[in-house]
Structure 1
């Protein structure tokens, strides 16, 4: 091959590379335009195809629509440790339309992101209910969690949102949403976000599982959990900052969810001291908002010793959840009646 033919080959490759790059950029831009317009999780960034209904999906992404829905003026935040609190039960007592924004398997980082999303779309909510469990006791300011969460979906940064849309799983959701939008019968899930995990546990035979029974009855160690001994609790600091920015009229209830007796530390142990310090930090954060109340459902009482009320040490049944919901509702009524 002579010099001339080599030069032609290089030119051909350069032209091919330019065409390939141009085609790739064009396809990418076309996909992003389509994805933004379709808005696969109905986040409101594009309302062109907003259907005003929640397409069947997991709570991690369904919260994008639920959290911005103007039909709701109050919200419950947390994970499966507060999931059984029925928003309709709170609404019936308080008159505040509630939505459940609890997401199983999440910690303070995810829950604060969801709180921020809700407040962005509801700058003056009537009520906020927050669950603080042992996940909030981490001393890591990054508030890590080993389970994936779409922070990009709730980010105020447009570039973060666009990067999130480039995920293959999201591209599949774009296609799925298009199919849902054009379908004759659109399946919908609950608007208020409530999900009854008790039915799922019972179907799996959790109460009769001997291995799970042993795990439920095994006392927690006396030593403090690694990374949760304090003295700093950055999640509480961030919570305090968020609560301080709320309007004075917003009623806030902080809940320490129920824990089975075997899951509570023995008094006087390093673990008990560490958990108390964490709860004290959360309580101090709550004090940064005047119209607030604390409900300690971990307090000693016979119900916490009843194995029939718990599936494991931290997941309880309706017989505990419903009275807790009533206690939350009563606290909200008192707070809203306070001048």
Structure 2
């Protein structure tokens, strides 16, 4: 290992072929202007995230581990090892790392629009339109589909939430924070844990009771994210957003109550019905009834494409996009009332559907 003032060296290559750069502590301090508190853009139990700039002008986000953290080093190592091996446009890219004994940091691409939670809660100036929310849902589902179905072995994120979905300047969504991720090598796709970990409000209730972790645990969390996109309600308030939403969709003309009122009706009613259908299917209490993320992504994409066509005035009469069926999902026991009386084939189909990073890393 180098001294603090040593020159940075090249690191390992990830699956993308991009070189993973090793940074010295002096370099990280320079990037963040000596860890200026004014540069803090995020903070957690065991780390602070600073906005910084490389010598070539590239903006980055620097996640620095707190020295007092107990679980931090293990989660940092998990994240670094995973992001060395995978690369996808809807996953936040790791650019480099610093692994000095008392000063560990990960350097990521900087995403200008912050996290989805901030954008939905009104903490920043951005207001997301209905079409933008659909595009974000598709992006996040695509990233999760890659983790579940295109990585070998598959990866379970275990902390899917709006605060871990970041947005770039074009509002492209990318999943972040892989410190709790698990790589599955078992043939049955189940991992038994001693404790359920994740974020309250997003945790799969079946996982909490059985301690059996599967891909479907991420699906539940993603369903909560979809409900947040629809409603912009806090996950944990007087009532959990899932319980509230499940009750509201039983009512006639439920969209007036469930869709974010700040949208002021500026959304496609059919796509709202479809998005709610997808979200509720993801938060089924029984994991076996939840769809695979590949199907969720396909249906979200179809929903988005149809909505964009309509908003651009290019959709032909009756030309609704077909939506893939949830072959592995049992019919929901929740009675669903569409808020519209659309006669399109798409609405009819949906109504029927509803019914019917290295091993040596951090070793010092």
User: What's the TM-score, normalizing by structure 1?
Assistant: 0.28
More helix by percentage = 1
User: What's the TM-score, normalizing by structure 2?
Assistant: 0.27
Between structure 1 and structure 2, the one with the greater Rg is: 1
Relative contact order, higher structure (CA 8 A, sep 6+):
1
